[in-house]
Each structure stands twice: as structure tokens, then as C-alpha cells.
Amino acid sequence: MNIIEVKNYEEMSVKAAEIISGQIKEKPDSILGLATGSTPVGTYKKLVEMYQAGNLDFSKVRTVNLDEYRGLPKESDQSYYYFMQENLFKHVNLPKDASFLPDGTNPDAAEECKRYEHLVADMGYADLQLLGIGRNGHIGFNEPADVFKAETHCVRLTQSTIDANKRFFASEDDVPREAYTMGVGTIMKAKKILIIASGGDKAWAVKNSFYGPITPRVPASILQLHPNVTVIADKDAMSEW
Ligand code: F6R
């Protein structure tokens, strides 16, 4: 595991964007696994800047996102589909049919999870998977549990995640209670993993994920078993290390 400590959010974003652009340059038809949330916003901004400066070409790239809220239509400004359009897709030359997320509007959870897992498998899984990390060590929406769930599945969000995500919604009641997410097995099949963390509220998760026992109680700890992981964490996120 390669752990890179940086000064702050800005430096984390620059470094992460450099790694992602390096991946695209090395393999123009890369499958990128992408995440939503506050942490990757700066990284996506840097990638857009690189594209606008003529230094990056997404024309052969395909993307698979980790997760999507169950029940939210694509047009909802809280859907992860919408987030990806706003923060990355609509600003770069990624072909319209080259980005994939779970379909939050499919009410048949078993069918949707199976469909998405097969889709990602048929693409050969991500060449590079970008991850944020929850305060409780969740990755995607894989929340602390008694067992690791391998494949794409439907989850009930924990109160800690609802609390963390309610800032994006009008009220706590509007936060969807369920989501479709890649499983830890789907994530672990990515060839490379890049995990980014910023801020003191991630310090517990960073320490316990990468410097503690591997346990489904801290889902990101499974990444210790992956052969190619880079962690970029800022000073505050490393403060309990
Ligand atoms: C979202 C996702 C989540 C976030 C995590 C951290 O696609 O996979 O696991 O990475 O909740 O969120 P932020 O970055 O908002 O702190």
C-alpha cells in the first residue's frame, strides 16, 4: 500500500487528478471506477481543467460508478447520476453512452443489482477505482456489518451516513434510506485503487482502515489485501495515524 500524505484538500485533489490522468494517458480506453461525495469534487475539477487545457482525452474512456440512491430519478439534483453530470461528464469529451451507474429507479432491487454486477464484470472491472471513505470506514455504501458483501447489493443506510449526507438535502427526511452499491468484491476486482481522504472527521476511518485489523466492521480495511492501493490523505485525515 502506497500512502501519500499531503498538506490539504487542494494538494490531495491535484495528486489524485495526476494519477487518474496518468492512467488515461497510459491506457486511453481505461475503465474508470468513480465515486461521488464532497471528497472527489476537487479531483474532478482538476480533470476538467486538464481536459480544457487540451491535456486529457476522455473519448475512449468508460466509467462505472460505485453507487446510486434507490428511488431517486436521474433528474433529481441529489442523484449520483446528476452529480456526475454536473461535476465531470458534461464538461469533458466522455461519450454519452460510456458512463454507467446503478439505476436508482429500478424498483426490483435483486434484478438491478444483478444487472449492474454483470455489466461491470462484462467490462472487465475497473482499471482504476477512485474511492472516498466514510467516517465509519464505509466504501461505496458498504456500511459496517458482520460480513463483507461481495457483489452489488441494496443497502439500508446507517444513521451515521444519513447524518453525513443530509447536508445535501432539504431535510433529513428527504435522504433516501436505501442505495444500490458495488460490493467490496466488485471494488477489490479493480486493477488499481486510489482512495482519497481529507479532514479530521476522516482520521478515525483512515487509521482503522489502513492500520488496524481487517474486519467488516471497518469496510475499507479489506483494501489492505489489495495488491495495488494508493491512499492520498491530507494532514488532518492522517492526524490519528
Ligand atoms: C459515494 C461513496 C461514499 C463516499 C463517502 C465519503 O459514491 O462511495 O462511500 O465516498 O461517503 O463521502 P464524502 O466524500 O462526501 O465525505
pLDDT higher than 90, residue 168: no
What is residue 149's predicted lDDT score, i.e. its pLDDT?
95
In this structure, of 74-88, 132-146, 157-171, the range with the lowest mean pLDDT score is 157-171
C-beta of residue 180 within 8 angstroms of C-beta of residue 151: no
- State what percent of residues in the chain have pLDDT above 90: 94
Q: At CA 40, angle to CA 219 and CA 193, rounded to 5?
A: 50
pLDDT higher than 90, residue 165: no
C-beta of residue 107 within 8 angstroms of C-beta of residue 121: no
pLDDT higher than 90, residue 161: no
- Delimit the domains of the chain by residue range: 2-226
Is residue 91 annotated as a catalytic residue, yes or no? no
Give residue 150's pLDDT band: very low, low, confident or very high (50, 70, 90).
very high
- Record the cell numbers describing residue 4, joined without a space: 501519500
In angstroms, rounded to a whole number, what is the distance separating the alpha carbons of residues 178 and 51? 35
C-beta contacts of 46-55 below 8 A and 24+ residues apart? 46/13, 46/14, 46/16, 46/17, 47/17, 47/20, 47/21, 47/88, 47/92, 48/88, 48/91, 48/92, 50/17, 50/21, 51/91, 51/92, 51/93, 52/91, 55/21
Give residue 165 CA to ligand 1 midpoint distance, Å. Answer: 9
**pLDDT tens digits, one per residue of 54-112:** 999 999 999 999 999 999 999 999 999 999 999 999 999 999 999 999 999 999 999 99
With a 6 A CB cut-off, is 37 part of the ligand 1 pocket? Answer: yes
What is residue 216's predicted lDDT score, i.e. its pLDDT?
98
**pLDDT tens digits, one per residue of 225-241:** 999 999 999 999 999 98
Of the residues 68, 112, 127, 143, which is catalytic? 143
pLDDT higher than 90, residue 160: no
Q: From atom 10 of ligand 1, which residue's Cα is the shortest distance away?
A: 132
pLDDT higher than 90, residue 215: yes
pLDDT higher than 90, residue 126: yes
Q: From atom 2 of ligand 1, which residue's Cα is the shortest distance away?
A: 140
What is residue 225's predicted lDDT score, i.e. its pLDDT?
98
Give residue 203's pLDDT band: very low, low, confident or very high (50, 70, 90).
very high
What is residue 11's predicted lDDT score, i.e. its pLDDT?
98
| Mean predicted lDDT score pLDDT of the chain | 96
What is residue 71's predicted lDDT score, i.e. its pLDDT?
93
- Record the cell numbers describing residue 96, joined without a space: 454519452
What is residue 229's predicted lDDT score, i.e. its pLDDT?
98
In angstroms, rounded to a whole number, what is the distance separating the alpha carbons of residues 205 and 211? 10
Q: Which amino acid is at 91?
A: H
**pLDDT tens digits, one per residue of 25-43:** 999 999 999 999 999 999 9
CA dihedral in degrees (193, 206, 217, 66; nearest 10)?
Answer: -40
C-beta of residue 230 within 8 angstroms of C-beta of residue 224: no
- Average pLDDT estimate for 176-182: 96
Is residue 118 annotated as a catalytic residue, yes or no? no
- State what percent of residues in the chain have pLDDT above 70: 100
Position in ligand 1 atom list of the atom nearest CA 138 = 9
Report the half-sphere exposure of 103 (CA within 13 A, side-chain side): 12
Give residue 175 CA to ligand 1 midpoint distance, Å. Answer: 14
**Architecture of the domain whose range is 2-226:** 3-Layer(aba) Sandwich (3.40)
